[in-house]
Amino acid sequence: MTPAGAPDHGDAASPDGPKDSAERLHKMMARAGVASRRRCEELIAAGRVTVNGTVARVGDRAGPADRIEVDGAVVTWDAGLVHYLVNKPSGVLSAASDDRGRRCVTDLAPAAVRVYPVGRLDADSEGLIIVTNDGELAHRLTHPSWGIPKEYLVHVEGVPARGALAQLRAGVELEDGPTKPAVVSMPQPSVLRIVIHEGRNRQIRRMCDAVGHPVVRLVRTRIGPLTDPALRPGEHRLLTADEVRELHRAAKRRGD
């Protein structure tokens, strides 16, 4: 593209991309599932689309090497990228493979390409986990600098008193340092709803142990904006294009 004040480089998508790889931006967005071509042109005209950090204009061209964003969410058009949501049952490993032949979460989301789980759930924990070959999205969802919220429904031993809930909310001192404040509620006795922005090893279990209420059952119910109460344990589904964009938007670090 050639933004105002920049030199005209013709139709080249980028210095490293072939000239004939570029196409009209609105057509590329439509192929990626953003919206119809007409709607994509409207988004561009409204200044809601950027290419490589520069606000796009109607008529601009882009190619596979360019970074296209709509309202800050990255548009992906690589047909080789797949994104699955899996409801992991207890006993399944959050791994791509296991040398002992144990069942892995990737076995629940068959794909024609090699995929990997995003983050981890303990073998004895349950709930939502993303399985993908989208390395950039996986990095953003797991790196602590982006702080993607994850929500858990936690059955614990006993009924936590107000003091225990206050400790969880303020931060709990663990052997690897204090946890960041969490959002904690108790929708019913012995059941906690906990939202954290960290991803330490067995963090929820260690937090609950620290306040005297060991975990009996732990289920992850939300990853950023993504939830699906209809997805049964052991089931999987492909994420929609809208859901992938929402995840990218949620994983947009402050200051980016």
The pLDDT, as a whole number, for residue 192 is 98
**Catalytic residue among 60, 66, 71, 122, which?**
122
What is the number of domains present in the chain?
3
What per-residue string of b and e applies to 193-202 under the rule 16 or more CB within 10 Å gives b? bbebeeeeee
The pLDDT, as a whole number, for residue 93 is 95
pTM here is: 0.71
**Do 140 and 239 lie in a common domain?**
yes
**Do 230 and 139 lie in a common domain?**
yes
Q: What's the CATH code of the domain at 65?
A: 3.10.290.10
- Region of residue 177 (left: phi > 0; alpha: psi -120 to 50; beta: else): left
**Do 137 and 235 lie in a common domain?**
yes
State the Cα–Cα distance between residues 146 and 119, nearest whole angstrom.
13
- Identify the domain containing residue 127 by its residue range: 83-145+226-250
State the Cα–Cα distance between residues 247 and 134, nearest whole angstrom.
12
Q: Decide if 3 is inside a domain.
A: no
The pLDDT, as a whole number, for residue 28 is 80
Query: How does DSSP assign 150-211, residue by residue?
Result: EEEEEEESS---HHHHHHHHH--EETTEEPPP-EEEEEETTEEEEEES---TTHHHHHHHHT
**Do 218 and 232 lie in a common domain?**
no
State the Cα–Cα distance between residues 207 and 113, nearest whole angstrom.
37
- Measured in residues, the chain has a length of 256
State the Cα–Cα distance between residues 253 and 146, nearest whole angstrom.
5
**Do 99 and 215 lie in a common domain?**
no
Q: Decide if 99 is inside a domain.
A: yes
Q: Decide if 256 is inside a domain.
A: no
**Do 87 and 119 lie in a common domain?**
yes
Tracing tokens 């949501």 back to the chain, one arrives at 85
State the Cα–Cα distance between residues 186 and 173, nearest whole angstrom.
21
**Do 68 and 107 lie in a common domain?**
no
The CA–CA distances, whole Å, from 114 to 1, 107, 128, 141, 238 equal 34, 11, 19, 19, 15
The CA–CA distances, whole Å, from 251 to 92, 214, 238 equal 27, 31, 19
The pLDDT, as a whole number, for residue 10 is 36
**Do 94 and 187 lie in a common domain?**
no
Which ranges of the chain have pLDDT less than 50? 1-20, 254-256
**Do 65 and 155 lie in a common domain?**
no
Active site residue 78: no
The pLDDT, as a whole number, for residue 79 is 60
Partners of 218 in the β-ladder = 154
Terminal C-alpha separation, the chain? 21
The pLDDT, as a whole number, for residue 15 is 37
CA 145, 172, 165, 218 torsion: positive or negative?
positive
Partners of 223 in the β-ladder = 150, 226
Q: What's the CATH code of the domain at 134?
A: 3.30.70.580
The pLDDT, as a whole number, for residue 14 is 38
The pLDDT, as a whole number, for residue 2 is 39
CA 32, 37, 39, 41 torsion: positive or negative?
positive
